[in-house]
Amino acid sequence: MTLPSPLTPEQVYRRCPIDQLDFETTDSLEDLELPCGQERMLRALEFGASMKADGFNLFVLGPAGAGKHELVERFLANYTERQPVPSDWCHVHNFEFPDRPRALRLAAGEGRQFKKDMNDLAAELRTAIPATFESEEYQARLQELQEEMTKRQHQGLFEIQKEANANNIAMITTPAGFTFAPMRNGEVVDPEDYKKFSDEEKALVESKIEELQKKLQQTIQQFPRLGKEARERIHALNEEMVQLTLGGPIGELREKWRHNPAVVDYLDAIREDVVEHAEAFQDGENGPPSGLLARYKVNLLVDNAETTGAPVIYEDLPNHQHLAGQIEHRARQGTLYTDFTLIKGGSVHRANGGYLIIDAGRILGQPMAWESLKRILFSGEIRIESLERLYGLASTISLQPEPIPVSVKVVLLGDRMLYYLLAHYDPDFLDLFKVEADFEDDLNRDDDSYGLYARMIATMARQLKCRPLSREAVARLIEQASRLAADQRKLTAHDRALRDLISEADHWADRAGIVAIEADHMQQAIDEREFRASRIRDRSREQITRGIVMIATEGETVGQVNGLSVLRLGASMFGQPTRITATARPGKAQVVDIEREAKLGGPIHSKAVMILSRFLASQYAGDGELSLSASLAFEQSYGGVEGDSASVAETCVLLSAISRLPLRQSIAVTGSMNQHGEVQAVGGVNEKIEGFFDTCREAGKVHGQGVILPASNVEHLMLNQAVRKAITDGDFSIYPVSQINQAIEILTGMEAGEPDENGEFPEASFNRVVANRLSRFAEVSKKPEDGEGGSDSSGGADRD
């Protein structure tokens, strides 16, 4: 087998071709309106924004800091410019059912006019109606009416008095009513004189008085009816006068608003209401009660007078009230009261006819907000209800404003996990959010993309009000973007990471007093970021340097190899070597994964160990029996171990333990392996290599060390300057391997050996030694007396 050549410096780092950047500084580059490389997402946005059918709301997926919000807002601002401005909405008093304020729809900009018209009308009513009641005409008619009614009352009494007088009987007024007494010469007869009357006369007088009393009773009992009739006639007069007064102003308004039948209906309702409350307007001194006129106000809920195109609203606190609106209360002397003027619209009202952008994580964190939003989208109308009512906590009478029909496109922003969780757990979600706009994490890095990417960087720098970047600084940033994407053929699309780097580089350029950001400042920004995040990494390295954590970077040892692991802490990650050891002895065919036994190993790691044990069996035992009791451990690992990126290293160390052949400690290994011994790609290769390089450097001189990594990982390499220099100097090597045998050969310096047609490995090959040791194990296992008690064959034992 031919051994792979170590990688050249060009292979481990893809430079940005400076000639592709055709500018001096980014000042000469035009702004990029929409980001490059996000065609899928932009097409989804375009589709979602223009799709009219129900349920085609958008969910924009992407990692935090990808610039979703800014991009969506910019896109929609452009898109909605050409769309019609939606209607204004207002709430007005409902004269029929006062607790259910009516909603009126008006053309955009008419709301303000309507509000002003109604205020003017109220002001006119305040003066015009009392003036009508003070008018000569009204007063005269009122007086005529009153006089007529008084006369009718008086007439009855007068006739009784006349009848009494004709019969010589006086009708006397008492403080409480009337009484009758016999009269002579206009004076009441003295009771003493009356006694002298004959019995006949007395009987006549008394019967007449009784008759008169009855008549008087009947007459007086008519009075309430007459009074009621009088009141009714006065009310009718009031109504007539108010109708005439209102005719002018209401007629003008009806004419003005005749294009809107709902407004005309409302004006008619006002006229009826004023007529009904005519008496309340009669007080010329204080004017009509303010509560009465307040009902003619207009609560302009949505005012689109100054909106251009369809509205795009971002709700940064998407709770129930802010979305669906609320009914506020005013406290007066310890009592809360409300009316339709205290109805406040929510962001859905404002976004009606346009777009509403909401952060998915935030809306899910607000009680009932998600449910409310779904209800609005399902029903197509906004019903303003307070949270306490929704929860059934309040039973007081409140307003139930007429629901407002709504046509809004909701754009949710969130990370992918949230989208998939919602899609899985909320059965309504996919009905309502049918358009998924998925942000690309990375862009392709090719000759076409350099120019666009540079313009994107220029746009960001201008938006951030930073200095322009020199060509070299842009090149350095592009290289760093590849490193962030961990791929030589990709560039990161992560908005925040790039913006932060530009801002920081600008800061360092500012400190240096230079007008443009140079490559040095960009490098300084990268280094400073790394330094700030390096405390844990440095502590970890220090432990290795001081020998507390044992890592050998020189010499050869049996059953021991350097694996590589990656730790992610916050936004930064770093790699470091880990010692992996193995033991082997005869026994039942099993490889004990100590990490798993100690419950420190994850399922993927366990799977990788199972794969390697099956690889051992098929590779070396052939048709025979495999007798092996082996163990694998990550030394001095106290956290969990997960992933399969150590399976190449584990295979090698296990074979070393079985064969008792030592492995080079100067080579660290990463890579996963399948059952056929093929090496597969793993993640975090840059950090792993740099981590081992730093460990070697801190342990002494870097000379002859290296890393074995899967050949398919080569294009992910974007290694730092120090590693590249060591490679150039020949002090550090990186070996790309595609077969486990290649790794074995690099680590042992021996030929691995391919089996012949009988499954036999060549003499003096590594695999032959392994196969022989395993057949020895099998023989030992067959002897019952030896059994399980055989000697352990860990590192340091005799070699075959």
Partner 1 sequence: MTAVEAQIVTNTQEPEDQAATRGRVLVLIDGSRMSYAALEAAADIAGKRGADILGVFVEELNLVRSAGYGFSREVGSASGISRPFDPGILEQRMRRLADHARAALAGAVKRRGGKAALSVARGHVIEEVLALAGPDDLLVLGRAGWSSTAGARLGSTAQGLIRQSPGQVLLWCEQKLPYPNRVVVFLNDHDGANHRAALTAAEISRHYHQPVTIILGTDGEPTASRLDAIRQDLDVLGAGTRLRVMPDTDPITVARTLREERASRLVISRECALFTAPGAEQLLAALSLPITITP
Residue from 2, 174, 333, 395 touching partner 1 (CB under 8 A): that is: 174
Q: Say whether 645 is catalytic.
A: yes
C-beta separation of 106 from 266 below 8 A: no
Residue 168 interacts with partner 1 (CB under 8 A): yes or no:
no
The token duo for 436 is: 């998924």
Residue 700 interacts with partner 1 (CB under 8 A): yes or no:
no
Mapping DSSP onto H, E and C, the string for 41-94 reads HHHHHHHHHHCCCCCECEEEECCCCCCHHHHHHHHHHHHHCCCCCCCEEEEECC
The token duo for 553 is: 């970077």
Nearer to partner 1, 282 or 400 (CB): 282
CB of 224 to partner 1, least distance (A): 9
Residue 189 interacts with partner 1 (CB under 8 A): yes or no:
yes
Residue 396 interacts with partner 1 (CB under 8 A): yes or no:
no
Nearer to partner 1, 56 or 178 (CB): 178
Nearer to partner 1, 131 or 515 (CB): 131
Chain-centre distance for alpha carbon 394: 29
- Which of 748, 799, 739, 795 lies closest to 769 in space, CA to CA? 799
CB of 174 to partner 1, least distance (A): 6
Residue 263 interacts with partner 1 (CB under 8 A): yes or no:
no
Residue from 172, 336, 512, 536 touching partner 1 (CB under 8 A): that is: 172
Residue 533 interacts with partner 1 (CB under 8 A): yes or no:
no
Residue 165 interacts with partner 1 (CB under 8 A): yes or no:
no
Q: Which of residues 221-250 bind partner 1 (CB under 8 A)?
A: 221, 223
C-beta separation of 551 from 527 below 8 A: no
According to DSSP, the residues that pair with 470 across neighbouring strands are 25
Taking the C-alpha atoms of residue 715 and residue 6, their distance in angstroms, rounded to an integer, is 14
Which span sits near partner 1 by CB under 8 A: 106-114, 214-222, 355-363, 593-601? 214-222
Which span sits near partner 1 by CB under 8 A: 2-10, 211-219, 470-478, 685-693? 211-219
Question: Amino acid identity, residue 202?
Answer: K
Residue from 42, 128, 145, 157 touching partner 1 (CB under 8 A): that is: 157
Which span sits near partner 1 by CB under 8 A: 207-215, 303-311, 603-611, 628-636? 207-215
CB of 295 to partner 1, least distance (A): 25
Q: Is the dihedral of CA 332, 336, 337, 340 positive or negative?
A: positive
Residue 180 interacts with partner 1 (CB under 8 A): yes or no:
yes
DSSP run (H or E) holding 359: strand 355-359
Q: Which of residues 271-330 bind partner 1 (CB under 8 A)?
A: 284-285
Residue 22 interacts with partner 1 (CB under 8 A): yes or no:
no
Residue from 58, 104, 209, 589 touching partner 1 (CB under 8 A): that is: 209
Q: Say whether 151 is catalytic.
A: no
Q: Is 545 left (phi over 0), alpha (psi -120 to 50) or beta?
A: alpha
Map residue 20 onto helix, strand or coil.
Answer: helix
Residue 178 interacts with partner 1 (CB under 8 A): yes or no:
yes
Residue 181 interacts with partner 1 (CB under 8 A): yes or no:
yes
Which span sits near partner 1 by CB under 8 A: 188-196, 310-318, 527-535, 726-734? 188-196
- Which of 147, 130, 133 lies closest to 237 in space, CA to CA? 133
Taking the C-alpha atoms of residue 737 and residue 740, their distance in angstroms, rounded to an integer, is 7
Taking the C-alpha atoms of residue 582 and residue 647, their distance in angstroms, rounded to an integer, is 12
Nearer to partner 1, 170 or 264 (CB): 170
Residue from 168, 179, 459, 675 touching partner 1 (CB under 8 A): that is: 179
CB within 8 A of 384, min separation 6: which ones? Answer: 324, 325, 326, 327, 343, 346, 401
Residue from 28, 139, 379, 728 touching partner 1 (CB under 8 A): that is: 139
Taking the C-alpha atoms of residue 524 and residue 510, their distance in angstroms, rounded to an integer, is 12
The token duo for 619 is: 């590779």
DSSP run (H or E) holding 405: strand 404-405
Residue 194 interacts with partner 1 (CB under 8 A): yes or no:
yes
Nearer to partner 1, 169 or 591 (CB): 169
How many residues line the site for partner 1 (CB under 8 A)? 41
In the set 115, 208, 490, 688, the catalytic residue is 688
In the set 629, 637, 645, 781, the catalytic residue is 645
Residue from 8, 127, 150, 407 touching partner 1 (CB under 8 A): that is: 150
Distances (CA, A) of 497 to 223, 457, 459, 529: 92, 12, 15, 11
Where b means 16+ CB within 10 Å and e means fewer, 769-788 reads bbbebbbbbbebbeeeeeee
- Residues with a catalytic annotation lie at 645, 688
Q: Which residues bind partner 1 (CB under 8 A)?
A: 134, 136, 139-140, 143, 147, 150, 153-154, 157, 170, 172-182, 187-191, 194, 206, 209-210, 213, 216-221, 223, 284-285
